[in-house]
């Protein structure tokens, strides 16, 4: 597949943006600067970026509790994300949602989600709407290996296949649901096998190889856009950090983590770009430096921003009503 240089460099840039955003979030969390808990995407960059690179700007995605990567892959901006992680009013959700609920309707990001498996029916409904409105949009629905055991997975894919909806179900199989390895939560290894049960194509790709993900996604998106229905695309990947920051990770061996870290998708893609002459060392370095600056600026933006006013609590619940605030 001939991929334009611009596309390749955008993909590289987005992967770097995710990595640096997440590394910064990890550092800030450890310093106690971020409230709540955060689930980081480090190691999984190739899946979100590979899939989103195959989408149009007006296409839609749904994401999960581990959503920062998907959001950036679809064009989300670090400064508004970082402000959201801080709970500041300048964040994507005015500080009301936090890490697990980042959304940007203008960029087609229908939200991260705190409920495992909840994105599947939502994405299916969005695809139904695209079909009804004849908008030509495709939906990419991200979810984990753990989520594939929720009823919503089965119910949604059945509906999507029955109605030939323009959707790609993207399973980011990082081998664990929380502290439970895939081996301990299902007997199959390839989740894509489940596609057979719903009469749609099931594809498994190396989720550490962004080009492999991209090529499979292009195929699946084309199929969806042409009205031929969903694909179940499984990307085998790995999260380098714990389930959440602070997770002691008693359930996996260091050696296993190291094995996967040796397949780090970003240096691997960098090497490919250098190898086939798409980019020079300097160009890649420039991207890394620029993104680092962007992330540092995002932190500054977040720290300089104010918290929301108390009465924000009771706004945005309805379009036309405001609930009563507290009398203290």
Partner 1 sequence: MRKMNFAQAINEGIKNEMRRDPNVFLMGEDVKFGVFGVTAGLIDEFGEERVRDTPITEEAIAGGAVGAAAAGSRPIAEIMFIDFITVAMDQIVNQAAKMRYMFGGKIKLPITFRTMAGAGISAAAQHSQSLEAWFTHVPGLKVVFPATPKDALGLIISSIRDDNPVLFIEHKLLYATEGEVPDENEPIPLGVADVKRPGKDVTIVATGFMVHKALQAAEELSKEGVEAEVVDPRTLFPLDKETIYNSIKKTHKVVLVTEEVKRGAWSGELAADIAEEVFDSLKAPVKRIGALNSPVPFSPPLEKYYVPNEVDIINAVKSIV
Ligand X SMILES: Cc1ncc(C[n+]2csc(CCOP(=O)(O)OP(=O)(O)O)c2C)c(N)n1
Binding-site member from 240, 251, 278, 288 for partner 1 (CB under 8 A) = 251
Q: How many residues bind partner 1 (CB under 8 A)?
A: 44
- Residue 236 DSSP SS3: strand
Contact flag: residue 97 with ligand X (CB under 6 A): no
Number of helical (H) and strand (E) elements in the chain, helices listed first: 11, 7
Question: Is residue 66 a contact partner of residue 144, using CB atoms and an 8 Å limit?
Answer: yes
Mapping DSSP onto H, E and C, the string for 164-182 reads: CCCEEEEEEECCEECCEEH
The option from ligand X, Mg ion, partner 1, none interacting with 88 (CB < 5 to 8 A, set by class) reads partner 1
Closest CA to 21 of 73, 93, 98, 94: 73
- Which stretch, 20-28, 67-75, 91-99, 233-241, contacts partner 1 (CB under 8 A)? 91-99
Question: Is residue 233 a contact partner of residue 47, using CB atoms and an 8 Å limit?
Answer: no
Binding-site member from 98, 144, 202, 230 for Mg ion (CB under 5 A) = 144
The HSE-up count of residue 155 (CA atoms within 13 Å, CB side) is 12
Window 132-191: residues binding ligand X (CB under 6 A): 144-147, 174, 176-178
Contact flag: residue 237 with ligand X (CB under 6 A): no
- Beta-bridged to residue 232, according to DSSP, are 169, 202
Binding-site member from 22, 145, 206, 209 for Mg ion (CB under 5 A) = 145
Positions that interact with ligand X (CB under 6 A): 39, 64-66, 114-117, 144-147, 174, 176-178, 243
Residues within the interface to partner 1 (CB under 8 A): 35-37, 87-89, 93, 95-98, 100-101, 113-117, 146-147, 149-151, 177-180, 184-186, 250-251, 307-308, 310, 312-314, 317, 323-326, 328
């Amino acid at each position: 597949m001939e991929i334009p240089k611009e596309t390749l460099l955008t993909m590289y840039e987005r992967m770097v943006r995710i990595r640096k955003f997440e590394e910064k979030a990890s550092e800030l969390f450890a310093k106690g600067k971020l409230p709540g808990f955060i689930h980081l995407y480090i190691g999984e960059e190739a899946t979100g970026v590979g899939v989103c690179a195959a989408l149009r700007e007006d296409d839609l995605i749904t994401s999960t509790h581990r959503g920062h990567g998907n959001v950036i892959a679809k064009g989300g901006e670090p400064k508004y994300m970082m402000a959201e992680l801080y709970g500041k009013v300048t964040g994507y959700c005015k500080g009301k949602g936090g890490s697990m609920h980042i959304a940007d309707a203008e960029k087609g990001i229908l939200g991260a989600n705190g409920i495992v498996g909840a994105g599947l029916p939502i994405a299916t409904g969005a695809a139904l709407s695209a079909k009804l409105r004849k908008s030509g949009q495709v939906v990419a629905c991200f979810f984990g290996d753990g989520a594939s055991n929720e009823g919503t997975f089965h119910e949604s894919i059945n509906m999507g296949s029955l109605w030939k909806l323009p959707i790609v179900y993207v399973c980011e199989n990082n081998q664990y649901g929380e502290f439970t390895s895939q081996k301990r939560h299902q007997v199959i290894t390839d989740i894509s096998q489940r596609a057979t049960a719903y009469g749609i194509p099931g594809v498994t790709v190396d989720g550490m190889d962004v080009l492999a993900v991209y090529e499979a996604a292009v195929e699946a998106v084309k199929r969806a856009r042409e009205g031929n229905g969903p694909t179940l695309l499984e990307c085998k990947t790995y999260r380098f950090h714990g389930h959440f920051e602070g997770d002691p990770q008693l359930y996996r061996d260091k050696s296993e983590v190291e094995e996967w870290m040796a397949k780090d998708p970003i240096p691997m893609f960098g090497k490919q770009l250098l190898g086939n002459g798409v980019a020079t060392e300097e160009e890649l370095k420039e991207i890394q430096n620029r993104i680092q600056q962007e992330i540092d600026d995002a932190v500054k933006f977040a720290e300089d921003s104010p918290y929301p006013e108390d009465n924000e609590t009771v706004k945005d619940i309805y379009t036309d009503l405001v609930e009563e605030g507290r009398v203290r």
